Amino acid sequence: MGRWEPNARGRLERAALALYRERGYERVTVAEIAREAGLTERTFFRHYADKREVLFGGSAALQEFLVGKVAAAPADTSPIELVVAALAATGEVFDERRDRARQRQTVIDAHPELRERELIKLATLATALAGALRERGVEESAAILAAQAGIAVFQVAFVRWLADGERDMAELVRGAYEELRTVTAGG
Amino acid sequence: MGRWEPNARGRLERAALALYRERGYERVTVAEIAREAGLTERTFFRHYADKREVLFGGSAALQEFLVGKVAAAPADTSPIELVVAALAATGEVFDERRDRARQRQTVIDAHPELRERELIKLATLATALAGALRERGVEESAAILAAQAGIAVFQVAFVRWLADGERDMAELVRGAYEELRTVTAGG
């Protein structure tokens, strides 16, 4: 009931990803995830609303992380640099989780409704980043363009990061940003 | 039954938008939309899967339009210019429909599930544009970045176009693209 379960959230996530891979996302139940993690269903529902949210449980923390980075950056940073630096800093969290991120992506790629959920997550992140830029006094359309261009950079970097065994997120985000600059310059 | 109904699709759209505004989207039924348009429910379902799709019935045509413009452009056009020119050309269709687009947007803005549907539509357009660029031999990440940056430009231009009484879509898309160039240059 009220027992303290050390790292219950992480154990549930790992159990869910293992089961989704072995048996297929649609066939796995919350009861099975809890059992695999050695926890109760009640504990599951303290951490996640349903089995889909295990895959998206990090969204709020990621958003908070990005918004915090934008808010804390030096005063004279340009809007796109604020966004790119925040995205590059996600390596602090992501780089240790590459295997789990790959497992998660395999599940998402196989299910259109999860892909849609992922797109909405990214759009929500863009809106939050634009809001964080506005808080710093960036004009509205510049804030939207910088945030959305940043999310495009992140998507390109993220796909490479999943496929790559070596380069870390910061390097891949910086590389994709350089490509964006070349592309938008219209050369 | 098999009767030919002149411009049934447009009449249904106009009737739906009028009813959504007067009575609220969630309270309107397909039967009422058909009656308001002077058509049968059977005719409604020949054109739209449900009352939500009346709001998104133009998506496939818009996608086809954009992909066609990208495919037909001169050979030496840069990827971002291909995308921006295609988006600017949507004025050929949109500029005559500004009032209807405003009515539609008011309904969408008031309903989170419709806003999500709109985000997915835009992401789908970005994917289609990236595919059209790839068809022209553009490298994959450049195609994705140009397409997604283009959709960001379009979103900024579209909001202004709805609010604006004067400037046409082409001018607003070009203006937002100039802003994107300034933003991504990171100045």
| B20 part of a folded domain | yes
pLDDT at B1: 42
Would an 8 Å CB–CB cutoff place B150 in contact with chain A? no
| B2 part of a folded domain | no
| A2 part of a folded domain | no
The count of CB pairs under 8 A between chains A and B is 93
Q: Which residue has the tokens 């609303």?
A: A49
> ipTM of the predicted structure?
0.89
- How many structural domains is chain B composed of? 2
Would an 8 Å CB–CB cutoff place A185 in contact with chain B? yes
Mean per-residue pLDDT, A64-84: 95
CB B120 within 8 A of CB A123: no
Chain A closest-CA separation from residue B54 CA (Å): 20
pLDDT at A44 over 60: yes
My answer on whether B40 and B105 are in the same domain is no
| B168 part of a folded domain | yes
My answer on whether A26 and A67 are in the same domain is no
My answer on whether A99 and A21 are in the same domain is no
CA atoms within 13 A on the CB side of B49: 4
**Cβ pair A79:B183 closer than 8 A:** yes
Encoded amino acid at B65, one letter:
F
pLDDT at B186: 82
Would an 8 Å CB–CB cutoff place A73 in contact with chain B? no
Positive or negative torsion for Cα B145, B146, B151, B153: positive
Mean per-residue pLDDT, A25-47: 96
| B1 part of a folded domain | no
Question: Tens of pLDDT along chain B (187 residues)?
Answer: 445 667 999 999 999 999 999 999 999 999 999 999 999 999 999 999 999 999 998 899 999 999 999 999 998 999 999 999 999 999 998 999 999 999 999 999 999 999 999 999 999 999 999 999 999 999 999 999 999 999 999 999 999 999 988 899 999 999 999 999 999 998 5
My answer on whether B63 and B15 are in the same domain is no
My answer on whether A83 and A143 are in the same domain is yes
CATH code of the domain in which B169 resides: 1.10.357.10
Would an 8 Å CB–CB cutoff place A164 in contact with chain B? no
Number of H helices, E strands in chain A: 11, 0
pLDDT at A3: 59
Q: Which residue has the tokens 């660029």?
A: B133
CATH code of the domain in which A44 resides: 1.10.10.60
My answer on whether B28 and B74 are in the same domain is no
Asked which of B53, B68, B83 is the last residue of a domain, the reply is B53
My answer on whether A46 and A66 are in the same domain is no
pLDDT at A21 over 60: yes
Would an 8 Å CB–CB cutoff place A145 in contact with chain B? yes
**Cβ pair A181:B185 closer than 8 A:** yes
| A3 part of a folded domain | no
pLDDT at A164 over 90: no
Encoded amino acid at A111, one letter:
H
pLDDT at A187: 55
B34: helix, strand or coil: helix
Beta-carbon contacts of residue A147 (< 8 Å; ≥ 6 apart): A83, A126, A127, A129, A130, A133
My answer on whether A74 and A40 are in the same domain is no
| B45 part of a folded domain | yes
Mean per-residue pLDDT, A155-171: 94
Encoded amino acid at B124, one letter:
T
Please give the mean pLDDT across all residues of chain A.
94
My answer on whether A47 and A92 are in the same domain is no
Q: Which residue of B has its CA nearest to A185?
A: B181
Q: Quick one: DSSP state of residue B27?
A: G
Domain boundaries, position B153: 58-185
| B3 part of a folded domain | no
Angle between helices B112-135 and A112-135 (to 10 degrees): 100
Would an 8 Å CB–CB cutoff place B30 in contact with chain A? no
Would an 8 Å CB–CB cutoff place B138 in contact with chain A? no
My answer on whether A110 and A159 are in the same domain is yes
B chain contacts of residue A142, beta-carbon cutoff 8 Å = 179, 182-183
**Rounded CA separation B116/B136 (Å):** 31
My answer on whether A22 and A99 are in the same domain is no
Mean per-residue pLDDT, A21-39: 96
Nearest to A180 among B81, B149, B155 (CB): B149
A chain contacts of residue B81, beta-carbon cutoff 8 Å = 186
Would an 8 Å CB–CB cutoff place B71 in contact with chain A? no
pLDDT band at A165 (very low <50, low <70, confident <90, very high): confident
A chain contacts of residue B182, beta-carbon cutoff 8 Å = 142
My answer on whether A29 and A93 are in the same domain is no
Nearest to B180 among A78, A179, A184 (CB): A184
